[in-house]
Structures are given as C-alpha cells and as structure tokens.
C-alpha cells in the first residue's frame, strides 16, 4: 500500500486555497495536516466553504513554521512574498514546496524585483526552482524541491504557442495573445473592480502597458524557441466566475506545415491537453472544474496567419489543479490522481 503524504496549505481561505482543498480531499495518498489562516484561525474549513462538508473537517490555524516543517509537502496559496520568506527553512528540513504565487516563477531576481517591487529573499532557491508546467518541465518537476506554479494566463498562452515555437514554423517576433478571464482570477478579496455591479455587463482590458504575467510567458517561450520572442499580451476581464480563453495569433514562416497534425502529435499522450478536431472551437464551460486545457488550431482563409484557441479553468489548470498535477509528479503518484474528472456542465 502506498504511504500517506502529509501536506500543509498556507493561505487556504482564497479561491485557489479552497480549490486545493476540494481536489486534495479526494486524493488517496494525501492527509492535509496543516491549514493556515491568521484571520480564520480556529474556524473549520467547511464552515467557511460549505461545499467541503463531509470532505474536510480540518480547522484553520495560525501559521506555525514548526508545524509546516513536519509536513512532507507545503502548498503556498498566498500573496507574493510570503512563500520566499518561509521557503529556506522548510526546504532545509526536507519539505517540498509548491508555490502558487509568483515567488519562484521568474528566474532572474532583477526581473522579479522590477515586476513585484521588492527584492527576492532567497535567490539561491529561486535558481533551483522549477517552473511548474508539466508539458514542458515534467522530468525536472519530478526531481524538484521547489516548484513555481505558473500563472493562469501563462498556462493558456504557453500551451497554445508551444508546438509552433518548438517546430519553428512561425515568426517568433510578432506573436499576439488576446486573453479573457473570469472574475475569480482577481481573488477573493474585496476589490472595487471585481464587485458584481462593476464587473457584470462589462468587458474591459487591463495591464495593457505591461502585465506581471508577461515576463513569465516570455521567459518560458524564449527558452523553448532558444531565442528572444516578441509577444503582445493583452488581458481582459469578462463577467463570468470561472474560465479563461487565450486567442493567440502568429505569422506562419512555413506555409506548408500541417498545423492540425503538429498539435495532435505534440500533445499526444498528454493527460490534460485536449486538441480538438479541425474546424471546431473550444468553450470555457467545457473545462469548468477540470484540469484540462482544450486547444483548437485554425488557419483563417488558408492565409499565413495561424490562430490558436486555448481554454482553461483559471482556478484549476490555471492554479490549484496544476499544483496538484506537479505534486503528483514530485511524489511519484499517477499524474492524474485526484484530477481525472470531467468538466461541469451546464
């Protein structure tokens, strides 16, 4: 019988934290040992999130480094800056970390400081951290002590562009990603822009001059292309709770390429990437609550522009589900454990 893995979750009161609880509650090898929240200390998780009744009877506790150090793995679903402050002590005691903030995504500490306005606290761990996109870094994730879980936009955009850049069939200097995300991506905190009255019946772009996810996408795709890329990345907020679509445009440099065959070949055997049949379009509701990225590749009018449609659930493949996928790799579990469920519909 496989041994039980004792897990801690730091910051279990947000949307991402509650998704981690939902997914890990059905993981046959996981026992959630520590669940932290300063504000909700002493309160049961299923009182804050009634959907967890019958699945999680754990109570929140104030963060305690000693209690976390007794875990085998710790997930950080916290604001930027928290994971890096605790990481060295935990890793030093043999704990594996999966950070859902941006603390371990960007390899260059100077780039991190530029985008997040504070100095990185442990550049030595940043240097060894693995970017948690299994479709690129599966083998490195298996051996990792620290995984920086990708952002939601970078997941959708990277999976859309990956086959094109690997095969060198597009102009890497003129890529465009037009992306839309549901309001849950803004987090559970009270913010004017994500209130119902502000977000409903509305569509707005943001971060046009520069979004924090841009350097993350550029870092990973430049490494794939083994050259600098040029990417225009424009995010938008749409009035729905879950879901994200990235519509990605690129100029073909090899007009004779079989795009459908290229995508099907690249993602054959990938458990959480579904390439749709030619001529179809994915919908965000087809991935709601699932860890799947659905892709469709088009060549409008047979011209020299390729359009890739990429949809994910921003809270699952874009956050908690991908973190569990990485956890499975790190602890030699079947990669699909606790994630092999169809999407919710309608």
pLDDT tens-digit series, residues 117-147: 999 999 999 999 999 999 999 999 999 999 9
C-alpha dist (Å) from residue 239 to 89, 236, 243, 267: 41, 10, 10, 31
Active-site hit among 152, 179, 326, 333: 152
Q: What is the CA radius of gyration of the chain?
A: 20
The answer to whether position 135 is within a domain reads no
- CATH no. for residue 10? 3.40.50.720
Query: What is the number of structural domains in the chain?
Result: 2
pLDDT score of 98: 98
**pLDDT in 10s for each residue of the chain, 346 residues:** 589 999 999 998 989 999 999 999 999 999 999 999 988 999 999 999 999 999 999 999 999 999 999 999 999 999 999 999 999 999 999 999 999 999 999 999 999 999 999 999 999 999 999 999 999 999 999 999 999 999 999 999 999 999 999 999 999 999 999 999 999 888 777 788 888 888 899 999 999 999 999 999 999 999 999 999 999 999 999 999 999 999 999 999 999 999 999 999 999 999 999 999 999 999 999 999 999 999 999 999 999 999 999 999 999 999 999 999 999 999 999 999 999 999 998 8
Structure-token pair, residue 293? 């990225």
pLDDT score of 1: 55
Structure-token pair, residue 68? 């976390």
Residues 56 and 202 reside in one and the same domain: no
- CATH no. for residue 251? 3.30.360.10
The answer to whether position 343 is within a domain reads no
Q: Across the strands, what pairs with 248?
A: 177, 308
CA distance 314 to 12: 17
pLDDT score of 198: 87
Using the structure block, give the residue that is written with the tokens 């026992």.
31
CA atoms within 13 A on the CB side of 190: 0
Give 206's DSSP letter: -
Residues 166 and 68 reside in one and the same domain: no
CA distance 321 to 286: 16
| Run of H or E including 135 | helix 134-143
The answer to whether position 176 is within a domain reads yes
pLDDT score of 140: 98
Residues 220 and 308 reside in one and the same domain: yes
CA distance 77 to 136: 23
Residues 202 and 258 reside in one and the same domain: yes
pLDDT score of 195: 84
The answer to whether position 71 is within a domain reads yes
Structural domain range at position 74: 5-128
Using the structure block, give the residue that is written with the tokens 């970390």.
97
The answer to whether position 146 is within a domain reads no
Residues 177 and 274 reside in one and the same domain: yes
Burial of 17-52, coded b for 16+ CB within 10 Å and e otherwise, reads bbbbbbbbbebebbebbbbbbeebeeebbbebbeeb
pLDDT score of 12: 86
pLDDT score of 56: 92
Residue 30, phi then psi, degrees to nearest 5: -105, 135
Please report, rounded to a whole number, the percentage of residues in the chain having pLDDT higher than 90.
92
pLDDT score of 191: 82
Residues 114 and 165 reside in one and the same domain: no
Report residue 141 CA to chain centroid gap: 14
Residues 111 and 250 reside in one and the same domain: no
Q: Decide if 326 is catalytic.
A: no
Residue-by-residue DSSP string for 281-321: ---GGGGTTSSPEEEEEE-GGGSSEEEEEEEE-TTIIIIIH
């Amino acid at each position: 019988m496989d041994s039980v893995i004792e897990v801690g979750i730091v910051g279990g009161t947000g949307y991402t934290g509650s998704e981690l609880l939902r997914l890990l509650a059905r993981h046959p090898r996981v026992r959630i040992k520590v669940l932290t929240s300063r504000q909700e200390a002493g309160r049961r998780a299923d009182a804050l999130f009634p959907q967890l009744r019958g699945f999680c009877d754990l109570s929140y506790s104030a963060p305690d480094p000693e209690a976390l150090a007794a875990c085998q793995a710790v997930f950080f679903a916290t604001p930027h800056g928290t994971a890096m402050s605790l990481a060295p002590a935990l890793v030093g005691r043999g704990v594996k970390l999966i950070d859902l903030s941006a603390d371990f995504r960007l390899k260059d500490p100077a780039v991190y400081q530029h985008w997040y306005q504070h100095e990185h606290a442990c550049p030595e761990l940043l240097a060894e951290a693995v970017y948690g996109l299994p479709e690129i870094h599966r083998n490195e994730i298996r051996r990792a002590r620290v995984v920086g879980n990708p952002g939601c936009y970078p997941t959708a955009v990277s999976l859309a562009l990956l086959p094109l850049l690997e095969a060198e069939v597009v102009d890497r200097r003129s890529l465009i990603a037009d992306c839309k995300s549901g309001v849950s991506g803004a987090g559970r905190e009270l913010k004017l822009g994500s209130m119902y009255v502000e977000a409903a019946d509305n569509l707005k772009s943001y971060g046009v001059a520069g979004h924090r996810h841009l350097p993350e996408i550029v870092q990973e795709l430049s490494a794939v292309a083994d050259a600098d890329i040029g990417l225009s990345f424009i995010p938008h907020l749409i009035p729905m709770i879950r879901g994200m679509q990235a519509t990605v445009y690129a100029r073909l440099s090899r007009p004779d390429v079989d795009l459908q065959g290229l995508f099907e070949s690249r993602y054959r055997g990938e458990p959480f990437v579904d390439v749709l049949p030619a001529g179809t379009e994915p919908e965000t509701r087809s991935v709601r609550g699932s860890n799947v990225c659905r892709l469709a590749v088009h060549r409008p009018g047979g011209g020299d522009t390729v359009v890739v449609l990429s949809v994910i659930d921003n809270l699952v493949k874009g956050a908690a589900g991908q973190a569990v996928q990485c956890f499975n790799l790190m602890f030699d579990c079947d990669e699909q454990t606790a994630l092999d469920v169809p999407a919710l519909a309608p």
